Amino acid sequence: MNPNITKRNELLAKKVIKGLKTRNMTGYYAATKEEALKLALELIPEGSSIAMGGTMSAAEIGLVDAIKSDAYHFIDRMSYSDPHDAGLATFDADILLSSANAITEDGVLVNIDGNANRVSAIAYGPRKVIFIVGMNKVCNDIDSAMKRARNVAAPINAQRFGLATPCSLTGSCFNCKSPDTICCQFLITRYSRHKGRIHVILVNDTLGF
Ligand code: SF4
């Protein structure tokens, strides 16, 4: 990582972490992916049941491989024949791993979802939610965070899943109501009522999309 970018990320992360604190959430800054992995594992007691919200960022820091060890109970949604059953199992997990589509400089998390299994579990269910968020996802305010979610994250996800949406073809949002839209639910997490539930690890790297 370029040292000038690192310096900027360090300063920006301090601001985000301060904002998260005012919202009853806990932020951390990891200078490297390895440091992020260590921080995440320190937050996950051995024996925990762990579900995931389709996060690429957790995989990119090596966390998905790490939790597949015998020390944890990984709830693998791909092992369920019925996606609805997989979604319900997530609610009962000790830990949910997720990324965010965007986070504002003052600590508001923005996520969009088609099936809503991810955003509903972020909002309620698992006793602890750990976000792995690359500094590429920090946005100035809610407006820019929503724009990022809909014009960067959603089109890439729609392409990833081969969905027939306008953004799949053009790369930007057309505010569609197509049957394949992944913009069914928007979750803005501006405060956590439950102290110690939401943890956000900001990583000095470009993670996910
Ligand atoms: S509303 Fe439609 S076009 Fe816009 S990002 Fe979502 S799926 Fe793509």
Domain boundaries along the sequence of the chain: 3-203
Mean predicted confidence (pLDDT) in 97-105: 97
Q: Which atom of ligand 1 is nearest to the CA of 173?
A: 4
- Residues 12-56: tens digit of each pLDDT: 999 999 999 999 999 999 999 999 999 999 999 999 999 998 789
Instruction: Please check whether residue 24 is in contact with residue 192, taking contact to mean a CB–CB distance below 8 angstroms.
Output: yes
Query: 83 versus 74: which is more confidently predicted?
Result: 74
What's the CA angle centered on 148, arms 60 and 169, to 5 degrees? 90
Q: Which of 168, 174, 177, 186 has the most ligand 1 atoms within 8 A of CB, as the residue to mutate?
A: 174
Whether the predicted pLDDT of 80 surpasses 90: no
Q: Is 152 in the pocket of ligand 1 (CB under 6 A)?
A: no
Q: Is 104 in the pocket of ligand 1 (CB under 6 A)?
A: no
Query: 142 versus 85: which is more confidently predicted?
Result: 142
CATH topology of domain 3-203: Rossmann fold (3.40.50)
Q: Is 69 in the pocket of ligand 1 (CB under 6 A)?
A: no
- Which among 35, 38, 28 is positioned nearest to 1, based on CA atoms? 35
